[in-house]
Amino acid sequence: MKPTQHILTLFILVLCSNLNISAQTKLVYQYEIHEEIGPAMSRLTQTAIAEAEKRKAAYILIDMDTYGGMVLDGDNIRTALLKTKIPTIVFVRNNAASAGALIAIACDSIYMTPGSTIGAASVVNQQGELMPEKYQSYMRKKMRATAEETGRNPLIAEGMTDENLEIDSIKRKGKIVTFSTREAIKYHYCNGEVERPEDILSKLSGGSYVIEKHESTLVEKLLLWLVNPAVSGIFLLLIFGGIYFEFKAPGTFLPIGLSVVAAMFYFAPLYLEGLAANWEILLFAVGIILILLEIFVIPGFGIAGISGIVFTIAGLTLALVRNIDFDFTFVPHGSVSMAFLMVSIAMALPLLLMIAFGKKFFKSRAFKTISDVGEMKQSHGYSIRDKGLQKLIGEKGVAITNLRPAGKIEINGEQYDSTADGSFILSGTEVTVMAVRSAYLVVRPV
């Protein structure tokens, strides 16, 4: 055989060998749950499972270390894991508590590091206090059903939630089941003790495996950043600050445009994460429209303005909590209050800043660059026509709308735009014209 034939044969053998090895190597697709269970983790799970199915992965591996979180999001993750046809494995790095335990039990195999724990799935509030029975009952049934689905002792899963349940040699009344790694192995809630996720590969049958970690996309990272409470708080400040600025300097348009953009960035990530519903966004929009109508169209400040403020605050507040329409069953205790406080502070702060520094700002060079504050001089072609308003000084009339402070009065059958000099004036009050200011009559009660 010629030397060239030897080289060609060797090349073909090496190529076939590499192809054979590549064909036998199977993919284990890994993603992490190292944070509180919430909308972001639910979205991450959906994305990771979809990518694993697209890549035809042999296994899905979850690297877990969590104390739990929101029940509904934990249930969403649990359901997604049970539905996928790809075998699932969870590596408990340290903790799989509460909703984390529910997710772990939903996986086909559980591996734990030495010193890890799994269990303690009772539903508690932010202070660590047990929630009412309806919450516990829901979680008990979910834990039991999940264990039945994955072939584990359902009584033990129920015991991770129910402190009144007694299980021979495992649990006495008044306690919640929490297993260490060795206990979990003993009672078949753990398939083995390992130090690293890579150690699990040697325990899998059917060829060689390689782990590939899920990489979050730029959009996922951006959404995770935008739903951060601190970032949402900044958008709230921009929303209310822009509105206050526009009321102070009507026609500037830049502030109200900034408010609209801030509202889009506030609601969009919350909508995508399943927090903000369509009706909550609509509630906010209606509230803003009512406020604008009250300020620019309807004289005074009454039902429309008050309703607008209520709707606006309600829309912004409800968008931050995980309610289902008007069902707040699984909203963590205190979440609505905290959201309301956050929105209220964001609403009050721009007003306080405007009171404290507004006068200086409106005289500043920065304001002059975005607002037309030039003087309208007669030499430039401007003129002011009082249309005989000066003759009305001293005349008496009747307020035909509330003056808070602007509104309308009637004198001798004619209506005039007016503003109250001092306190608000109610409709029907007899008034006297004290002065003329631009095209307005300045009046006070007789």
In this predicted structure, the answer to whether residue 377 has a pLDDT above a threshold of 60 is no
Residues 6+ apart with CB under 8 A from 232: 226, 266, 270, 320, 342
pLDDT tens track for 253-287: 677 788 889 999 999 888 877 778 899 999 999 99
- pLDDT score for 21: 42
Largest separation between any pair of C-alpha atoms in the chain: 124
Between 81-85, 217-221, 309-313, the lowest mean confidence (pLDDT) is in 217-221
- CA–CA separation, 157 and 153 (whole Å): 7
- CA–CA separation, 239 and 14 (whole Å): 65
Is pTM beyond 0.75? Reply is: no
DSSP conformation class of 377 = -
In this predicted structure, the answer to whether residue 380 has a pLDDT above a threshold of 50 is no
Top-confidence range, 5-9, 22-26, 318-322: 318-322
pLDDT band per the 50, 70, 90 thresholds, residue 368? low
Average pLDDT, the chain: 83
pLDDT tens track for 68-85: 988 888 999 999 999 999
- Read off φ and ψ for residue 145, nearest 5 degrees: -65, -35
Q: Residue 220 in contact with residue 47, Cβ under 8 Å?
A: yes
H helices present in 84-217, as ranges: 99-105, 133-149, 154-159, 181-186
- pLDDT score for 296: 67
- pLDDT score for 378: 47
Greater confidence (128 vs 178) lies with 178
Residues 6+ apart with CB under 8 A from 441: 389, 392, 409, 416, 417, 418, 419, 433, 435
Where do the domains of the chain lie, and which CATH numbers do they carry? 23-215 (3.90.226.10), 219-358 (no CATH), 387-445 (2.40.50.140)
pLDDT band per the 50, 70, 90 thresholds, residue 101? very high
pLDDT band per the 50, 70, 90 thresholds, residue 25? confident
| pLDDT over 90, % of the chain | 39
Between 79-88, 188-197, 366-375, the lowest mean confidence (pLDDT) is in 366-375
- pLDDT score for 337: 85
- Per residue in 151-177, is it b (16+ CB within 10 Å) or e — as a string? ebbbbbbbbbbbbebebeebbeeeebb
- pLDDT score for 214: 94
- pLDDT score for 57: 96
